Amino acid sequence: MNNIPEVKLGLIAVSRDCFPIELSVRRRAAIAALCKGGLYECPVTVENEADMLKAVADVKAADCNALVVFLGNFGPETPETLIAKYFDGPCMFVAAAEGDGDLINGRGDAYCGMLNCSYNLAMRHLRGYIPSYPVGTAADIAAMIADFVPVARAVIGVMNLKIITFGPRPQDFFACNAPIKGLYELGVEIEENSELDLLVSYKAHAEDPRIPAVCEDMAAELGVKGNSYPKLLPRMAQFELTLLDWAEQHKGARKYVAFADKCWPAFPEQFGFEPCYVNSRLASRGIPVACEVDIYGALSEYIGACVSGDAVTLLDINNSVPASLYEAEIRGKTGYALTDTFMAFHCGNTPSCKMCADRAVKYQLIQHRLLEPAGSEPDFTRGTLEGDIAAGEITFFRLQCDSEGVLRSYIAQGEVLDVPTGSFGGIGVFAIPEMGRFYRHVLIEKHYPHHGAVAFGHYGKALFEVFRFLGVGDIAYNRPKTLPYPTENPFC
């Protein structure tokens, strides 16, 4: 997944000059030993601004792209916070707990120093990642560092991301409203193109000598049962190469790319297939391709890929679970109420590695009804990857810029149930605790679109920290019964 950053952490210890510098040096070494080579230990201990410049230069020379700033004792407020200003990547600030020496010459007071550190960061309008409880032993801090890695990976990715779109958005798709102001606030670049630009590039890839190898790879991924339309593979392989080449040729000054593409109504007839399966393959490699020119959907997917280090998808929060299906398959077998469940769906963009074994390339039923003659065999509406999404833990989330230009987000952890859907598309029965209330008082109340990003696992903790670090003030979640939403009627 070379579209996802690799985090190289540096560890810088700081020391206030009226405290023993040996405390910071010894405590820093203990952390580095526990991390077993997983981070670079800067030899410069920072007591003043000159030390700060030397330390930052040292970690940059070591190719570090994220930092742990460690208060081995009280720490010097100005130099330690200026590290975040002069370093180009995310910085975590943590402090040493007492207990590894006497409380006279061996006391560091870093518990107090963290207060001054956070105060100084705020005065300078600098962002630093501070864990939930940032004071600990070497073992505690090694665990905090492990938690920081996926956060740092996502922040570095966003700082170096370009979203490439092919649009415009489908008619009446206010769900994909995307003020670019929010992207610029996050440091994300955007390149907006026409479907015609994509079509011209696609045609230029006709007879590309790489097509047979891509077809072979697709056939191996799908297997005999999943490869429903073998003759369709060259068209889809041509499109895959078109997107990959466009990403490489258009990333410009950025390192990483995500796409948000228009996929209907004109696309299938002009290109000769649906793009969904190709989109799923790129998503499995850490290059999300959001449907329906959903720019913030693409951004959300990319953040999820960085946090999880795994394939992600984008799904409609689509339809309720029929009461009959709930009674037959869910009630009594789980602790979920009917309103905790829903079906999440999209035409066929979910990576095959996250679907049940019977997934296969099929055709888009809704567009076949709309775009091809009634009763005809599917032609250009083929190309979706369909089947039930595999059971397992998920995190449903989204980062969105609303129509007023305000960044907001939501995160909800749950699971895909092992329940056959009996439906079409890439689809699954999802369960999220208190989903009914979350649906009404977050998704509807805060005017979120129907698309949500899905990470396959429970990553709420890391996503919450990523959104906080990025400056998102409104991070909603599915509240338990005991915690009402501000808009919830207390008499219901």
Q: Which residues contact 475 (CB under 8 A, 6 or more apart)?
A: 408, 409, 410, 411, 464, 467, 468
| Planar angle of CA 316, 322, 325, nearest 5 degrees | 115
- The Cα 273–Cα 228 span in angstroms is 13
* Rounded mean pLDDT, 244-266: 95
192, 165 contact by CB (below 8 A): yes
* Rounded mean pLDDT, 353-358: 97
- The Cα 364–Cα 366 span in angstroms is 6
Residues in a beta bridge with 227: none
- Please tell me the predicted confidence (pLDDT) of residue 278: 98
385, 359 contact by CB (below 8 A): yes
- The Cα 162–Cα 260 span in angstroms is 11
Taking the CA atoms of 275, 277, 280 and 282 in sequence, report the sign of the dihedral they define: negative
- Please tell me the predicted confidence (pLDDT) of residue 119: 97
- Please tell me the predicted confidence (pLDDT) of residue 301: 98
Read off the pLDDT band of 411 (50, 70, 90). Answer: very high
**Per-residue pLDDT tens over the stretch 421-464:** 999 999 999 999 999 999 999 999 999 999 999 999 999 999 99
Instruction: Give how far Cα 302 sits from Cα of 24, 182, 370, 470, 486, Å.
Output: 37, 16, 32, 14, 31
- The Cα 473–Cα 409 span in angstroms is 8
Which domains are delineated in the chain? Answer: 9-158 (3.40.50.10940), 160-477 (no CATH)
Q: Which amino acid is at 290?
A: A
Instruction: Give how far Cα 99 sits from Cα of 47, 49, 96, Å.
Output: 23, 29, 9
- H or E element in which residue 319 lies: strand 312-319
**Per-residue pLDDT tens over the stretch 97-134:** 999 999 999 999 999 999 999 999 999 999 999 999 99
Query: Which residue is it, tokens 């859907």?
Result: 421
- The Cα 46–Cα 11 span in angstroms is 11
C-alpha dihedral, 276 to 278 to 281 to 286, nearest 10°: -90
Residues in a beta bridge with 14: 46, 71
**Per-residue pLDDT tens over the stretch 365-387:** 999 998 999 999 999 999 999 99
pTM of this structure: 0.96
256, 161 contact by CB (below 8 A): yes
Q: Would you give the DSSP letter of residue 487?
A: T
Query: Which residue is it, tokens 């959104």?
Result: 467
> Over 90: is that where the pLDDT of 398 sits?
yes
| Helix/strand/coil for 8 | coil
365, 378 contact by CB (below 8 A): no
- Please tell me the predicted confidence (pLDDT) of residue 38: 82
For the chain, the average pLDDT equals 96
36, 80 contact by CB (below 8 A): no
Read off the pLDDT band of 309 (50, 70, 90). Answer: very high
Say if residue 214 is exposed, middle or buried (CB neighbours under 10 Å; 0-12, 13-18, 19+). buried
**b/e map of 220-239 (b: 16 or more CB within 10 Å)?**
ebbeeebbebeebbbbbbbb
- Angle, helices 211-226/233-250, rounded to nearest 10 degrees: 130
| Planar angle of CA 146, 147, 153, nearest 5 degrees | 90
> Over 70: is that where the pLDDT of 1 sits?
no
- Please tell me the predicted confidence (pLDDT) of residue 115: 98
Read off the pLDDT band of 59 (50, 70, 90). Answer: very high
| Planar angle of CA 88, 468, 289, nearest 5 degrees | 80
Say if residue 105 is exposed, middle or buried (CB neighbours under 10 Å; 0-12, 13-18, 19+). exposed
- The Cα 181–Cα 431 span in angstroms is 34
Strands 161-167 and 135-136, bridge-based pairing: unpaired
> Over 90: is that where the pLDDT of 170 sits?
no
Query: Which residue is it, tokens 């079409």?
Result: 424
* Rounded mean pLDDT, 408-427: 97
- Scanning 389-440, the segments in alpha helix (DSSP H) are 435-438
User: Any idea which of 34-43, 59-68, 91-100, 466-475 has the lowest mean pLDDT?
Assistant: 34-43
Rg of the chain on CA atoms, in Å: 25
- Residue 325 has, within 13 A of its CA and on its CB side, a CA count of 19
**Per-residue pLDDT tens over the stretch 183-219:** 999 999 999 999 999 999 999 999 999 999 999 999 9
| More reliable by pLDDT, 291 or 169 | 291
> Over 80: is that where the pLDDT of 142 sits?
yes
Report the candidate in 492, 467, 470 with the shortest Cα–Cα distance to residue 481.
492
